[in-house]
Copies of this chain bind each other. A is one copy, B any other.
Amino acid sequence: MKKIERVCAITHILTEHPNRDYSLGTFAEAFGCARSSISEDIKLIRRSIEEGGLGYLETTAGVKGGVRYVPYITDAEAAKVLGGLKAAFEEPERVLGSGFLYTSDILFSPELAKGAARIFARHFASAEAEMVVTVETKGIGVALFTAELLDLPLAVLRRESRVSEGSTVSINYFSGSADRIQQMSLSKRAMKPGTRCIIIDDIMRGGGSIKGIEDMLAEFDASAVGIGVVVVAGGTGGKKIGNYLPLLLMSEDADKKLRMDINPELMAKGQRA
């Protein structure tokens, strides 16, 4: 196999398996060549991938030396994703009579949900999280892609406890948007004590449901090391939780017209926040 074909094959394998460690020895064996050749290949692939702005390679040196592809987006790519999300959420036909927005198609669009997940994955890459957590239903897409990009498992809190969850922990919380007490539950099998979690949700109004997830994590002796929400409504202050990362800020202008702004914090970040 020629060098160029090997480089192509390795690029493909790494890209298909984000955040998975491959030892140089594995590739050397698979392609029947010296470790030193693979090492040269990786240098070239790293340069090429990093110029594209979709990700970068992390390598560890030494006998057990390996490589992993970390999906990433540059500021320029992130701006494009955020612009696409903003444009989608701002479509006037989404506004429902009740002041709510129809968003299911956005949140389950593989392209838009994965775009949002890329930004969360970039932001929380160094949080040393062990699990991604969300509550059903509309945040599941973004949460799952975030988990995939960070190579972590995902736990989904349920609104009702189901027989197929086995014994569960349930908590009650006040949902401002539903204006009533709601319940969420999680299987006792879902999480080990001490787990470091990233919480992902689709839309935050008062912060009640994310506060609920935090309370649930406390029941498992687990903790939130990052909180990401796609949209925050009604300003970023006065919420039930403190430190969270919204992508879009939803407000109404003087004419009561819906307005979506890209979180300015996101644009001020360096390339490897």
Contact = CB atoms under 8 A, between A and B. Distances in A.
Interface stretch (A150-158, A222-230, A242-250, A260-268): A150-158
A189 interface: yes
B3 A189 contact: no
Interface residues of A, number: 57
A96 B161 CA distance: 14
A9 B4 CA distance: 12
A9 B50 CA distance: 9
Q: Is the interface of A mostly helix, strand, loop or mixed?
A: helix
Interface string A1-34: 0011101110111011000000000000000000
A144 B110 contact: yes
Contact of A102 (B49, B110, B155, B164): B164
Contacts of A109: 153-154
14 contacts: A4-B44, A5-B48, A8-B11, A9-B49, A9-B51, A11-B15, A12-B15, A12-B49, A15-B15, A101-B164, A105-B153, A137-B137, A137-B158, A144-B144
